[in-house]
Structure 1
Amino acid sequence: VSEYFKKALSIKCILSILLKLKLCGRAPLNTKIVGGVDAAPGTWPWQASLQTSGHFCGGSLINNLWVLTAAHCFPTTDTTGFTVFLGRQDQAGSNPNEQSRTISRIVCHPDYSGTTNDNDICLLELSSAVTFTDYIAPVCLAAPNSTFNSGIINWVTGWGTTSFGAADILQEVDLPIVGNRECNCSYGLITNNMICAGLSAGGKDSCQGDSGGPLVGKQGLQWVQSGVVSFGQGCALPNIPGVYARVSEYQAWINGIITTNQPGFVDFRSAGINSVPLLLSDKPICTLIKLDQGFFYMTTSCFKRPSIPHPGGFPPFT
């Protein structure tokens, strides 16, 4: 009898994992292939708008009761006055597919540093579970050892600042991943807990108001969250990518907080540009991109290494 129950429990666990992976990262209304500005309703069904007297940060739904966001969005764990909106498209108009919840608990990473922006990640427990629809659904999360190679395209979404001011309609932008070594040329404080994305020419980026929102990549039919919008130097500047908390570093911490109905973690594998580090005084500071015939390419910004201000000079995107 004991063996029977062990097998039954094992099967139940496997089915539970498969169900999570079947549910997460699905966006049936998302038919986009390349860029855009305004996101169509239901395109990013995990996108959350965090509000007090108005929108101040983004987030992502990771199961029916929890939202993932940035720690710098919540300098206090007092839940008074916060509302989470899901299924929202327009900050100024009607949102017929919307559900809203208050926050019952705020759990930010214990090692978050407001000085270096390291471990800029936080979990919000909703007051009650939301109902999944085509417009409200959880995103998958990148599992440990996932690879997001330089040059692969990810998407960032939010209602943050655009060239025309704060956005009313949910915005979306496609950005290439920038390797941590190259990203460190711009900041000098990039850790393994961070992931960067942006165009070398600038013009596209996350910005103020996007903080806490998701950076996602697609694998097969599933969208997998690679990052949480964290900080940057300005917005959309040439050779200055945006910086995100690297989700794949936090499975153990997330599952330590969410002990039931845990989020779906997916091992994301990307085929990207082959890169190797450039060493200077035994410290990698930039990235060489391997091309055909054994040649290497490097962005000129690596030879114009800026003077690095105090880490506090790179404010988070709020």
Structure 2
Amino acid sequence: VDIIAHCVLIVCLSAVCGISPLNTRIVGGQNAPPGNWPWQASLQSSGSHFCGGSLINSQLLLTASQGNIPASLTVSLGLQSLQGSNPNGVSRTVTNVIKHPNYNSRTNDNDICLLQLSSPVTFTDFIVPVCLAAPGSTFFSGVSSWVTGWGTIASGVSLPPPGNLMEVNVPIVGNRECNCNYGVGSITNNMICAGLRAGGKDSCQGDSGGPLVSKQGNRWILGGIVSFGNGCAQPNFPGVYTRMSQYQSWINNQITSSQPGFVTFTSTGTDSDLSISCLCFTFPPILLYT
């Protein structure tokens, strides 16, 4: 009976994940309409937001491993703004922090972390788990993606009151081109990049751990987790994200029940990144999005 119930729950999560019922700073972005991104979480310490996360089932969040996660941590879901009234918001404390054992703080490889909430949350129009990119997913250069968060709107420029959730649309940048930008070997297969060659749109400090999602059919699929970049929204330096499709086995091994919904994202056409080659490489300083 327990096995049957577990399988039914997996099917249910796969059916509900990534559906944003109300979705018919991020640098260079705009205010997100209420309920557009119902998996978005705010990680807070002493009442202050410090990074983002994504709900993946009723009691688990995905975020980044980088930085010191405080002992006293609150997760808020269903928020529209950091200040003022949030009638659809709920909060939970965190009872367990599971960082990837192979996280490398120097290179930011395997920058992924699971947070267990003190009790399950109820799914509503404003609180829904996101689907996760399954192994074998293909995100070709130019694939449309969205990043959301409450981070700074430029390097060192705080999000103004009331602190509305921000959203920005950026295209995927292939790993070959991204390696040309950051220096050969800097971008591993566990990373995915997104941004504009001209700059102007990007995630920034305080967005770390938040979602990079792309839409397939009627579902939003988490392709990446905000990780690092050379400044924010700089030309030829796209944001770098943890590549979600590399981590299904690790996540499943940490969860004994209520497995999240994994969905294969498939790009159409051909990948222009395959024709990219670099004649020279630079090694700019890396600025973490914390």
TM-score (structure 2 length as normaliser): 0.91
Equivalenced residues, count: 280
Q: The residue matched to 1:71 in structure 2 has which SS?
A: coil
Name the counterpart of 2:59.
65
The 5 Å alignment of 1:1-318 reads 15-31=8-24, 37-53=30-46, 54-73=48-67, 75=68, 80-163=71-154, 165-167=158-160, 168-188=163-183, 189-275=186-272, 277=274, 287=276, 305-309=280-284, 313-318=285-290
Partner of 2:223: helix, strand, or coil? Answer: strand
Give the unaligned 5+ runs of structure 1.
279-286, 289-301
What letter corresponds to residue 61 of structure 2 in structure 1? Answer: V
State the distance in 1 between where 2:206 and 2:21 align: 26
Question: What one-letter code is carried by the residue in structure 2 that aligns with 1:47?
Answer: Q
Matches of 1:129 and 1:92, distance apart in 2: 24
CA–CA separation in structure 2 for the residues paired with 1:16 and 1:47: 22
Q: Aligned equivalents of 1:244 and 1:19: distance in 2?
A: 28
Unaligned runs of 5+ in 2: none
Higher Cα Rg: structure 1 or 2? Answer: 1
Are the counterparts in 2 of residues 175 and 199 from structure 1 also a CA contact under 8 Å? yes
Aligned-pair RMSD on alpha carbons?
A: 2.0
Cα distance change of structure 1 residues 86 and 193 upon mapping to structure 2, 3 Å threshold:
same
CA distance in 2, matches of 1:132, 1:275: 39
CA drift at 1:316: 1.6
Which portions of structure 1, spanning 4 or more consecutive aligned residues, are displaced by more than 2 angstroms?
11-18, 163-167, 272-278
**Equivalent position of 1:299 in the other structure:** none
Superposed displacement of residue 276, structure 1:
5.3
Identity percentage of aligned residues: 60
Shift in Å, 1:95: 0.4
How many Å apart are 1:36 and its aligned residue?
A: 5.7
Counterpart secondary structure, 1:20:
helix
| 1:151/1:272 contact within 8 Å kept | no
Distance 1:12 1:87 in 2: 28
Distance 2:36 2:52 in 1: 15
Cα shift readout 1:116-158 (whole Å, capped 9, x = no counterpart): 0000000000000001100001000000010111001010000
